Amino acid sequence: MLAKVISIVIYLVMAIPLALIGILFVISVILFPSKMNMFGRLTSICVLKCLFVKVRINGSIPKDKSMILMYNHSCFIDPFLFAYSSPGKTTGITAVENYKLPVFGWMLKKWNAIPIDRSNINAAKKSIAKGEQAFKDGYNVIILPEGTRTISGQIKKFKKGGFHMAVNTKAPILPIGSKGAFSFKPKNRWYIKPGLVELNVGNIINPDRYDELGVDGLIKEVRLQMKELTGYELEE
């Protein structure tokens, strides 16, 4: 009951500050489009603070080379966590439905996020190809291999597209486990529980192992790392 009361208070009190943050972000990106990543990170910090989410990054994400960053997906605040933690030039692949959301969809377009329609195989292949080109252009590419948010809290089965991208481009894969975001607000609960979210950085999987592992082996290794990094069980 207390968590529900706290949530209502936070929603009411923080509605105006969050709206102002969104407006300032939009104005900043229009005026200074080349600073999109910087403004995205600053905006994410402000949003997370307004929601009373404390973030701790355990480990370091290399800044000197591009790679594929793979996160688990458990909460609506995940995009802010990604923007908060990702260094340098970064983009990502996102569900095409997100492009249709007011304001957030506009933000994704400005961020050059790549929409993917998993119900259309040919369109999905084109999205993967765009992700490959982004990596070649020096971007980190964020992939959510589960595809959608978990409902149970377990690590869902992975889609193969991001792993084919890694093999095709010889891009290193860095698994990053988000622990605590699911407790903050799972998909099927309206109220929040402010607290700590840990982003646990895993071990880089380098391309020289891709021939040995293959796509299925890569999926298995990343899932096992995710289990260790988050403490969540693997969905069968």
Spell out the residues 6+ positions from residue 132 whose beta carbon is closer than 8 angstroms to its own: 165, 168, 169
Domains of the chain in start order, with CATH, are: 54-230 (3.40.1130.10)
- CA 41 – CA 29 distance, rounded (Å): 12
Q: Which helix (H) or strand (E) segment is 8 a member of?
A: helix 2-31
DSSP3 helix / strand / coil % (the chain, rounded to 5): 50, 15, 30
- Tens-place pLDDT, residues 88-122: 889 999 888 888 888 778 888 878 889 888 888 88
pLDDT band with cut points at 50, 70 and 90 for residue 226: very high
Q: What angle do CA 36, 92, 171 make, to 5 degrees?
A: 115
pLDDT band with cut points at 50, 70 and 90 for residue 68: very high
Strand ordering across the sheet containing 90-95: 53-58, 195-201, 173-179, 68-71, 140-143, 90-95, 114-116
Give pLDDT, residue 4. Answer: 87
Q: Residue 78 phi/psi, 5° resolution?
A: -55, -45
58 forms beta bridges with 200
Q: Which tokens is 88 given?
A: 């340098």
Query: Could you tell me if 186 and 153 are in contact, meaning their C-beta atoms sit under 8 angstroms apart?
Result: yes
- CA 46 – CA 179 distance, rounded (Å): 20
Q: Check the CA dihedral 113-115-118-122 and report its sign.
A: negative
- Tens-place pLDDT, residues 128-142: 999 999 999 999 999
pLDDT band with cut points at 50, 70 and 90 for residue 63: confident
Query: Could you tell me if 91 and 141 are in contact, meaning their C-beta atoms sit under 8 angstroms apart?
Result: yes
Please give the sequence-ordered ranges of beta strands (E in DSSP) within 89-158, or none if there are none: 90-95, 114-116, 140-143
| Mean pLDDT over the full length of the chain | 91
Spell out the residues 6+ positions from residue 198 whose beta carbon is closer than 8 angstroms to its own: 55, 56, 57, 58, 178, 179, 180
